[in-house]
Homo-oligomer: A and B are copies of this chain.
Amino acid sequence: MSNVKSAERELSPEKTEVILRGAMQEFLEHGYAGARIDKIVAAAGVSKATVYRRFADKAALFTALIQRMAVKIHFFHQQELPPLGEEPVVFLKRYATQVLDHITHNSQELMLFRMIIGESGRFPELGQEFVRNIEKPNIDFLMQYFATHPKLQLADPEVAARTLVGTLIHFRTYALTN
């Protein structure tokens, strides 16, 4: 006989939100092993018990956070495309510039990429998630773009797409420092 509201009275979504926000800061700055639960709860303004009621342990909190970020970044990139009507050379230059600028002005995203790569040996599902959510959509888009623009004379659209995406990500996560 409980009404609808009582059925919802479980874990408050607001607290979950602030926990994840605090966790993001701490994990991005120090990596998985370097992150401290104490710092996360301090930043979130909740107690440890509140964290451990939602997440089994540190690893569960970490993976939950990363998966959430993967989805957000995915949708973000989709909105950012430069106009498709331009000449291919112009479009591709803008596309590349935009990706690099985006990461450059979004230091959290740079830290995220680096962390994913660094932890992907110990959290394989995490690396796969990112391939699925971030790299794959970009590669698929470019593949189709290349395939529908024969004037570019690209023998293999998939190779071209993987090359461009790989070069851009690598250039920003490894070659440059800040």
Contact = CB atoms under 8 A, between A and B. Distances in A.
Interface of A: 30-34, 110-111, 114-122, 124, 127-128, 130-131, 135, 162-163, 166-167, 169-171, 173-175, 177-178
Contacts of A115: 118
B120 A174 contact: yes
Contacts of A118: 31, 114-115, 117-119
How many copies of this chain does the complex contain?
2
A162 B167 contact: yes
Contacts of A177: 120, 124, 127-128
Looking at chain A's contact residues, is the secondary structure mostly helix, strand, loop, or mixed?
helix
A96 B122 CA distance: 27
Contacts of A30: 33, 122
B131 A175 contact: yes
A171 B162 contact: yes
Contact of A167 (B116, B127, B128, B166): B166
Contacts of A110: 121
Nearest to A115: B118
Given A117-B118, A117-B174, 17 more contacts: A31-B31, A31-B118, A111-B121, A115-B118, A116-B174, A117-B117, A118-B119, A120-B174, A124-B177, A127-B174, A128-B177, A130-B174, A162-B167, A162-B171, A163-B163, A166-B175, A169-B174
A89 to B, nearest CB: 12
